[in-house]
Copies of this chain bind each other. A is one copy, B any other.
Amino acid sequence: MDISFNDIKQKFRGCGLKTTPQRTAIYNALLRSTAHPTAEDLFAEVAPQFPMMSLNTVYYTLGVLRTSGLIHEVNIGHTRARFDANLSPHHHLICLGCQAIVDVMDPRLNRLTSPVGIPKDFEITSHQVAFRGFCGTCRHHTRRPINRSSSGVHPTTAKGGLHG
Protein backbone atom coordinates (compact mmCIF):
# COMPACT_ATOMS: atom_id res chain seq x y z
CA MET A 1 0.00 0.00 0.00
CA ASP A 2 3.09 2.21 -0.21
CA ILE A 3 3.21 5.01 -2.71
CA SER A 4 6.21 6.99 -3.90
CA PHE A 5 6.68 10.72 -4.02
CA ASN A 6 6.57 10.56 -7.79
CA ASP A 7 3.30 8.68 -7.77
CA ILE A 8 1.79 11.41 -5.64
CA LYS A 9 3.23 14.06 -7.91
CA GLN A 10 1.67 12.32 -10.88
CA LYS A 11 -1.68 12.15 -9.20
CA PHE A 12 -1.56 15.81 -8.29
CA ARG A 13 -0.54 16.78 -11.78
CA GLY A 14 -3.34 14.68 -13.21
CA CYS A 15 -5.78 16.79 -11.21
CA GLY A 16 -4.07 20.06 -12.04
CA LEU A 17 -2.80 20.49 -8.50
CA LYS A 18 0.57 21.92 -7.57
CA THR A 19 2.89 19.67 -5.63
CA THR A 20 3.78 21.40 -2.40
CA PRO A 21 5.53 19.79 0.57
CA GLN A 22 2.56 20.38 2.87
CA ARG A 23 0.07 18.97 0.43
CA THR A 24 2.24 15.96 -0.23
CA ALA A 25 2.68 15.30 3.47
CA ILE A 26 -1.04 15.57 4.21
CA TYR A 27 -2.02 13.29 1.35
CA ASN A 28 0.72 10.85 2.22
CA ALA A 29 -0.35 10.72 5.86
CA LEU A 30 -3.89 9.99 4.75
CA LEU A 31 -2.72 7.27 2.36
CA ARG A 32 -0.79 5.56 5.10
CA SER A 33 -3.57 5.72 7.67
CA THR A 34 -6.50 3.35 7.95
CA ALA A 35 -8.01 5.19 10.91
CA HIS A 36 -10.03 7.76 8.91
CA PRO A 37 -8.41 10.72 10.63
CA THR A 38 -9.95 14.13 11.20
CA ALA A 39 -8.39 17.34 9.92
CA GLU A 40 -6.90 17.88 13.33
CA ASP A 41 -5.47 14.37 13.49
CA LEU A 42 -3.71 14.99 10.19
CA PHE A 43 -2.52 18.37 11.38
CA ALA A 44 -1.01 16.74 14.48
CA GLU A 45 0.66 14.10 12.37
CA VAL A 46 2.17 16.48 9.85
CA ALA A 47 2.89 19.47 12.10
CA PRO A 48 6.29 18.20 13.34
CA GLN A 49 7.62 18.42 9.79
CA PHE A 50 6.14 21.89 9.27
CA PRO A 51 6.16 23.87 12.48
CA MET A 52 4.73 26.93 10.75
CA MET A 53 1.83 25.08 9.18
CA SER A 54 -1.68 26.23 9.91
CA LEU A 55 -4.67 24.00 10.54
CA ASN A 56 -6.29 26.11 7.88
CA THR A 57 -3.96 24.61 5.32
CA VAL A 58 -5.09 21.13 6.29
CA TYR A 59 -8.72 22.10 5.79
CA TYR A 60 -7.94 23.81 2.49
CA THR A 61 -5.90 20.86 1.27
CA LEU A 62 -8.51 18.30 2.25
CA GLY A 63 -11.12 20.37 0.45
CA VAL A 64 -9.00 20.46 -2.69
CA LEU A 65 -8.24 16.75 -2.58
CA ARG A 66 -11.90 15.97 -2.03
CA THR A 67 -13.14 18.05 -4.95
CA SER A 68 -10.41 16.50 -7.09
CA GLY A 69 -11.73 13.08 -6.17
CA LEU A 70 -8.49 11.92 -4.59
CA ILE A 71 -10.01 11.37 -1.17
CA HIS A 72 -13.41 10.77 0.36
CA GLU A 73 -15.09 12.37 3.31
CA VAL A 74 -16.59 9.92 5.79
CA ASN A 75 -18.89 10.89 8.63
CA ILE A 76 -20.16 8.96 11.59
CA GLY A 77 -21.80 11.89 13.33
CA HIS A 78 -22.34 15.56 12.89
CA THR A 79 -19.39 16.54 15.02
CA ARG A 80 -16.31 16.19 12.87
CA ALA A 81 -15.45 15.30 9.31
CA ARG A 82 -13.17 12.33 8.78
CA PHE A 83 -11.24 11.47 5.67
CA ASP A 84 -10.24 8.42 3.70
CA ALA A 85 -7.83 7.97 0.80
CA ASN A 86 -9.06 4.46 0.09
CA LEU A 87 -11.05 4.96 -3.09
CA SER A 88 -11.98 1.34 -3.80
CA PRO A 89 -15.61 0.58 -2.96
CA HIS A 90 -15.84 -0.49 0.63
CA HIS A 91 -17.95 -0.26 3.75
CA HIS A 92 -17.40 0.61 7.38
CA LEU A 93 -17.42 -0.89 10.81
CA ILE A 94 -17.97 1.77 13.46
CA CYS A 95 -17.31 1.32 17.16
CA LEU A 96 -19.93 3.14 19.22
CA GLY A 97 -17.50 3.22 22.12
CA CYS A 98 -14.29 4.71 20.77
CA GLN A 99 -15.59 5.92 17.39
CA ALA A 100 -13.03 3.86 15.50
CA ILE A 101 -13.83 3.30 11.83
CA VAL A 102 -12.53 0.16 10.14
CA ASP A 103 -12.81 -0.56 6.44
CA VAL A 104 -14.92 -3.54 5.42
CA MET A 105 -13.90 -4.82 2.01
CA ASP A 106 -16.45 -7.64 1.61
CA PRO A 107 -17.30 -7.48 -2.13
CA ARG A 108 -20.72 -9.05 -1.60
CA LEU A 109 -21.83 -5.79 -0.06
CA ASN A 110 -20.96 -3.94 -3.26
CA ARG A 111 -23.62 -5.86 -5.14
CA LEU A 112 -26.79 -5.03 -3.23
CA THR A 113 -29.80 -4.94 -5.49
CA SER A 114 -31.75 -1.73 -5.82
CA PRO A 115 -34.18 -1.45 -2.90
CA VAL A 116 -37.92 -1.71 -3.35
CA GLY A 117 -40.36 1.07 -2.61
CA ILE A 118 -38.23 4.06 -3.55
CA PRO A 119 -39.26 6.90 -5.88
CA LYS A 120 -38.84 5.59 -9.41
CA ASP A 121 -37.11 8.74 -10.67
CA PHE A 122 -34.38 8.56 -8.05
CA GLU A 123 -31.01 7.73 -9.60
CA ILE A 124 -28.79 5.81 -7.18
CA THR A 125 -25.09 6.38 -7.81
CA SER A 126 -23.55 4.56 -4.85
CA HIS A 127 -24.31 2.87 -1.59
CA GLN A 128 -22.47 2.12 1.57
CA VAL A 129 -23.16 -0.10 4.55
CA ALA A 130 -22.31 1.06 8.06
CA PHE A 131 -22.03 -1.67 10.66
CA ARG A 132 -22.20 -0.38 14.21
CA GLY A 133 -21.28 -2.07 17.43
CA PHE A 134 -18.47 -2.39 19.92
CA CYS A 135 -14.88 -3.35 19.34
CA GLY A 136 -13.11 -5.82 21.60
CA THR A 137 -11.80 -3.21 24.00
CA CYS A 138 -15.03 -1.22 24.29
CA ARG A 139 -17.04 -4.40 24.70
CA HIS A 140 -15.14 -5.32 27.85
CA HIS A 141 -14.49 -1.91 29.33
CA THR A 142 -16.78 1.04 29.56
CA ARG A 143 -19.29 1.33 26.79
CA ARG A 144 -18.73 5.00 26.12
CA PRO A 145 -15.25 6.41 26.54
CA ILE A 146 -16.47 9.50 24.65
CA ASN A 147 -13.31 10.30 22.82
CA ARG A 148 -13.85 13.48 20.89
CA SER A 149 -10.27 14.51 20.34
CA SER A 150 -8.98 11.62 18.29
CA SER A 151 -10.05 9.21 15.59
CA GLY A 152 -10.89 6.02 17.31
CA VAL A 153 -7.70 5.60 19.21
CA HIS A 154 -8.06 4.63 22.85
CA PRO A 155 -6.32 6.84 25.37
CA THR A 156 -4.73 3.69 26.74
CA THR A 157 -3.66 2.03 23.50
CA ALA A 158 -1.21 4.14 21.58
CA LYS A 159 -1.71 4.16 17.82
CA GLY A 160 -3.65 2.31 15.20
CA GLY A 161 -7.16 1.98 13.86
CA LEU A 162 -8.83 -0.67 15.95
CA HIS A 163 -6.96 -1.84 19.01
CA GLY A 164 -6.53 -5.51 19.71
The answer to whether A119 and B135 touch across the interface, beta carbons within 8 angstroms, is yes
The answer to whether B115 and A109 touch across the interface, beta carbons within 8 angstroms, is yes
Among the listed stretches A7-15, A42-50, A71-79, which one makes contact with chain B, having 4 or more residues with CB under 8 Å of it? A71-79
The answer to whether B95 and A104 touch across the interface, beta carbons within 8 angstroms, is no
A158, CB-defined interface residue at 8 Å: no
CB-nearest residue of chain B to A75: B78
The answer to whether B115 and A106 touch across the interface, beta carbons within 8 angstroms, is yes
Among the listed stretches A29-37, A121-129, A147-155, which one makes contact with chain B, having 4 or more residues with CB under 8 Å of it? A121-129
A35: shortest Cβ distance to chain B, in Å? 14
Inside 8 A of A70's CB, which chain B residues have their CB? none
Name the interface size band of chain A: 35 or more
A130, CB-defined interface residue at 8 Å: yes
A112, CB-defined interface residue at 8 Å: yes
CB-nearest residue of chain B to A126: B132
The answer to whether A115 and B134 touch across the interface, beta carbons within 8 angstroms, is no
The answer to whether B129 and A102 touch across the interface, beta carbons within 8 angstroms, is no
A81, CB-defined interface residue at 8 Å: yes
The 8 Å CB contact of A75, one of B75, B108, B132, is B75
List 15 interface pairs A-B (beta carbons < 8 Å), by A numbering.
Answer: A75-B76, A75-B77, A75-B78, A78-B78, A78-B79, A95-B122, A96-B125, A102-B122, A108-B113, A121-B135, A122-B134, A124-B131, A125-B134, A126-B132, A127-B130
Known: A73-B78, A95-B122. 7 other contacts (CB 8 A): A75-B77, A77-B78, A93-B119, A119-B162, A121-B136, A123-B134, A125-B133
